[in-house]
Structure 1
């Protein structure tokens, strides 16, 4: 996955935003363009190395894939999922723990201004908050799609996964190596301990095994020790 925001097609993202908010019920007299400007500016902030417009574009693309394979009788609110993707890391500071809550609150302010109804706004905010744990309840198909799309980076090819891991490290450049390695190893162990990383049938079938192999390899690299005397 390309994590360089400079190579992300923001014109395509703007067009997609306009189409999504229009379909989601935005008022005809509200211009969605300024909201796209503010969101894309947030996703391109200088402290970001992984949580960039490239990540946003990737999550939206994964939602497309998962939606194509969702059972028609059990399809989630696709528009709410897409809007949640736009907002899920709209507020991001690597040294803060309230990013998802602040991102959800941003959606709760912005979407009503655009004329999006209260029920869909609440669903978008709920989905954004769900990305704290990536643990949707059974039957929460919208949550499953968003969480799987967000975690799909874990199932990248070796070079793509290495670029992802390096970008995460760069975002935490202010953390000393020993502390980062310990913290990152704890996160990886927590992920590997989950009974399932991916909840959608497509994600489980196509991403689970590769993601676990990538996580295990990164964990082994982080925790390896040199020979005596080193």
Structure 2
């Protein structure tokens, strides 16, 4: 675990224990602690650079901000956090597209059922984890406000301060160090360009108004840097 991860471990465990007590009140502290330890181990794997406890902490803070703005109520925020605890629990940068999200969703479903979480809540959390692949919220989705909050929290990084976004870019490149630079540039552009082309990056009103402008600036800067033609106009 990195020094940053170590510093975040205790507050994250405390936060998990609070959420677990509401999600699975009958499981008891020993099971809550065991699951929290498993979660922190997953988020602290040595090959991770961006998909770490720092990312988890940022997404949880983003849900707090959305809850404070009225985008979700307390119950919806709790389930959204349930999604975020598990959404990158499995993370292998060499895996096929969608594999990490599907494996994380399977783990969430299995572990939450064992903790005794209500079946409808488990279904909602599984759906939220799967949504983070592609970041498309189904139009007929159950619990749409919760899914919108997860969507926006996971994409909070796009609208992060310039210095944090630059660090995020470096961290992602480190996770994909095995990919040659031309292939990385092409792949990263393919992933990121559609966000800039969206009419609306964020789904909640608060995130739309508070995070969109910096997100568009960050994305335009990155895509210009990724362009093989340094004279090409920025998107």
- The runs of 5 or more residues in structure 1 that have no matched partner are none
CA distance in 2, matches of 1:19, 1:52: 20
Query: Which secondary structure state, in structure 2, belongs to the residue aligned with residue 26 of structure 1?
Result: coil
Contact 1:83 1:124 in 2 (8 A): yes
CA contact (8 A) 2:137 2:147 kept: yes
Residues 85/8 of structure 1: CA separation in 2 closer, same or farther (3 Å cut): farther
Instruction: Assess, with a 3 A threshold, how the Cα gap between structure 1 residues 7 and 213 changes in structure 2: closer, same or farther.
Output: farther
CA contact (8 A) 1:136 1:143 kept: yes
Contact 1:4 1:54 in 2 (8 A): no
Partner-residue secondary structure (3-state), 1:64: helix
CA distance in 2, matches of 1:145, 1:191: 17
| 1:209 Cα offset (Å) | 1.2
* CA shift in 2, pair 1:195/1:8, >3 Å: farther
User: The residue matched to 1:210 in structure 2 has which SS?
Assistant: helix
Q: Cα 1:91–1:28, aligned 2, differ >3 Å: closer, same or farther?
A: closer
> Residue 20 of structure 1 aligns with which residue?
19
Alignment of 1:1-230 (within 5 A): 5-6=4-5, 8-29=7-28, 31-70=31-70, 77-96=76-95, 97=97, 98-137=99-138, 140-225=144-229
Deviations 1:7-32 (Å, cap 9, x if unpaired)?
A: 54211111111110111233144621
1:8·1:57 contact (CA, 8 Å) conserved in 2?
A: no
- What is the alpha-carbon root mean square deviation over aligned residues? 2.0
Q: Greater shift after overlay, 32-41 or 217-226? A: 217-226
Number of aligned pairs?
A: 224
Confirm or deny: 8 A CA contact 2:24 2:116 kept in the other structure.
yes
Most deviating of 8-17 and 133-142: 133-142
Q: Using the TM superposition, give the Cα deviation of residue 222 of structure 1 relative to its aligned residue in structure 2, in angstroms.
A: 1.1
Structure 1 position 225, deviation (Å): 2.9
Tell which has more relative contact order, 1 or 2 (C-alpha 8 A, sep 6+): 1
Shift of 1:47: 1.3
Q: Deviations over 1:193-219 (max 9, x none)?
A: 222110111100010111011001111
* Segment of structure 1 superposing worse, 77-86 or 26-35: 26-35
Q: TM-score, normalised by structure 1?
A: 0.91
Which sections of structure 2, spanning at least 5 residues, go unmatched? none
Deviations 1:47-72 (A, max 9, x none): 11000011001100110000111257
> Residues of 2 paired with 1:206 and 1:88: CA distance?
24
TM-score between the two structures when normalised by the length of structure 2: 0.89
> For 2:25, what is the secondary structure of its paired residue?
coil
**Which range moved further: 172-181 or 20-29?**
20-29
